[in-house]
Amino acid sequence: DGGITQSPKYLFRKEGQNVTLSCEQNLNHDAMYWYRQDPGQGLRLIYYSQIVNDFQKGDIAEGYSVSREKKESFPLTVTSAQKNPTAFYLCASSLRGWDYQETQYFGPGTRLLVL
Amino acid sequence: AQSVAQPEDQVNVAEGNPLTVKCTYSVSGNPYLFWYVQYPNRGLQFLLKYITGDNLVKGSYGFEAEFNKSQTSFHLKKPSALVSDSALYFCAVRDMGSGGYQKVTFGTGTKLQVIP
């Protein structure tokens, strides 16, 4: 899982609650990404950030929010507007987001469960 | 729009036998192709990628993949399977595109089960 850490490993959300998933990298990568993984659906892009203080919506951004105030950190907030948040959430990073040849490196993931 | 297909949800192979995990793709430009492996409750680990050049790409843990442009395929292979290879395998594609950010599109994954 390289130099990307995600916390917590498991997270429980109550109805109407916002929760924040942490992602930190020490790889000096410019670009960071959040994916959602559901069984049988592969990975779907939620948000991505190619540089500090900039981020863009992915395919399934509704009900989620992010910030990128530091190069090393890209936290994801799952808001109460996300009606089906139960999933495995994966954070990834790459050296330069604009380079098509680049490999994305993944963190160990956070499993979010609804109480 | 780019897409990638992994036609088999699960592949079973006996230990010591060769294995193949299939992947086909569709892009408008030149493809950049990746294989990742995921062990239970873990993140994805990079195995190998095709950018350009030799159609046979060698990667980690003895895996290799063959790029076939005419068949738009990028199948993952290993000459002799190990029980420890049992995991979920993802193929991914990135289109060079016509400008702007081009995301990576992942397949739905193929579960590889190596039987002792």
Q: What is the pLDDT of residues B24-75, one digit of tens each?
A: 999 888 889 999 999 988 999 999 999 888 999 999 999 999 999 999 999 9
The phi, psi pair for B60, rounded to 5°, reads -75, 155
CB of A85 within 8 Å of a chain B CB? The answer is no
Contacts of B51 in chain A (CB under 8 A): 101
Contact B109 A42 (CB under 8 A): yes
pLDDT of B76 above 90: yes
Calpha distance A29→B83 (Å, rounded): 34
d(CA B15, CA A113): 36
CA dihedral B60, B64, B66, B72 (to 10 degrees): -50
Instruction: State pLDDT tens for residues A52-71.
Output: 999 999 999 999 999 999 99
φ/ψ of A72, rounded to 5, equals -80, -15
